[in-house]
Amino acid sequence: MPALYLIEMVALPTLGAALAFLDSQAGLLISWAVVGSMAGFVVLGVWSIGLAYTPVLLVQGIAATLALRGQAHRALASLAVAALAATAQVAIMFALIRILSPDASF
């Protein structure tokens, strides 16, 4: 399970950084999905590694926000995608924990 987190936390910011300034709606929404997924990870990480990934989340959030410049009409959709990605991240991780460690208590 920790290996999955480590791979994910390297791949997500890399993907987000590559797409943050792509001049397309898909790139913008994927960038915000990365922010949401990382936010879910940071929330779950508070109980184990603390706030270690918060700076990465902040930088990714700033990059995604800068990518919104001139596209204010897409802000609500971007925030909705981020919220959905955060919820999915938390749900998937809880499901994986339950499957891989049935004795775990939440």
Instruction: State how many domains the chain has.
Output: 1
Over the stretch 49-95, which tens digit does the pLDDT of each residue have? 878 889 989 999 998 888 888 788 888 999 999 999 999 999 998 89
pLDDT above 90: residue 104? no
Domain presence at residue 106? no
pLDDT of residue 15: 85
Domain presence at residue 34? yes
Domain presence at residue 36? yes
Domain span at residue 14 reads 2-100
Domain presence at residue 93? yes
**Tell me, what amino acid is at 24?**
S
**Tell me, what amino acid is at 7?**
I
Domain presence at residue 62? yes
Domain presence at residue 76? yes
Please state the separation of Cα 25 from the chain's center in Å. 18
Domain presence at residue 21? yes
CA torsion angle 46 56 37 75 (round to 10):
120
Over the stretch 32-46, which tens digit does the pLDDT of each residue have? 999 999 999 899 888
pTM of the model: 0.85
Domain presence at residue 29? yes
